[in-house]
Amino acid sequence: MNDALAALQARLGHVFHDPALLELALTHPSVLNERSGAQDSNQRLEFLGDAVLQLVLSEEIFRRYPQEREGVLTQRRKLLIEGKFAAKLATELRLDECLRVNAAGALAGLKLNRSALEDAFEALVAALYLDAGYAVTQRIVLQIYGDLDQRLAAMLPADNPKGQLQELVQPAHGNNALRYEVTRTTGEDHQRIYDVTVWLHDRALGSGHGTSKKLAEEAAARAALEVLKAEAGKTD
């Protein structure tokens, strides 16, 4: 057990009962091509880890967002599990410092490859599950992810201001705190302009207008986001 793996266990808050599991989780398939004595890589663990990760996040998202429909829950889970985000978590954990690759892979920067990091993260989850069981794995995975609301808000598309606003207010105010109200409609039937105000409970957060209700609501949400970000800046 080298220093990098010992440091990783300290970051995880878990010392492996079977250190070989941890080492296997961080063994890239390229090692098999170089070392005649190497019998396995992290590919099988990756398969199991993907399933464990989906269960942990499905359960947490289901609990955290009791009012949301299946489609919204599925989309949130997808964002949290997709490869580029798993690779980001692997980087935060500094798995690249522990990943074993062959000499050619090391020279080619394989330790920083997104796919290799994603696989290593999933394999690590499986290793935790096999070493310590579901409850410990669940705790560590959720600790790694941290605040899911903040994670999700950061991943929402820039052109989804309503979604960003919802994610921002949800932790403190719940899922049903926002409402959008059409305050005025002007123009001819074929050239309507809608004015919309978004309310947080009984507080008007922002207003906007557009040639459709959807565009007006998005404009109102953008205005509300600016207000909340400005307020947050004053408290920092």
Catalytic site residue 236? no
Catalytic site residue 50? yes
Q: Which of 96, 61, 26 is nearest to 170 (CA)?
A: 61
Given its phi and psi angles, is residue 41 left (phi above 0), alpha (psi -120 to 50 degrees) or beta?
A: beta
Choosing from 50, 118, 119, 167, the catalytic residue is 50
Q: Specify the 3-state DSSP secondary structure of 189.
A: helix
Neighbours of 204 (CB within 10 A): 14
Q: CB–CB of 152/167 below 8 Å?
A: yes
Q: Specify the 3-state DSSP secondary structure of 194.
A: strand
Q: Which residue has the tokens 């949800």?
A: 170
Compute the distance between CA of residue 157 and CA of residue 171 in angstroms, rounded to an integer. Answer: 19
Q: CB–CB of 79/153 below 8 Å?
A: no
Choosing from 60, 122, 167, 218, the catalytic residue is 122
Q: Residues with catalytic annotation?
A: 50, 122
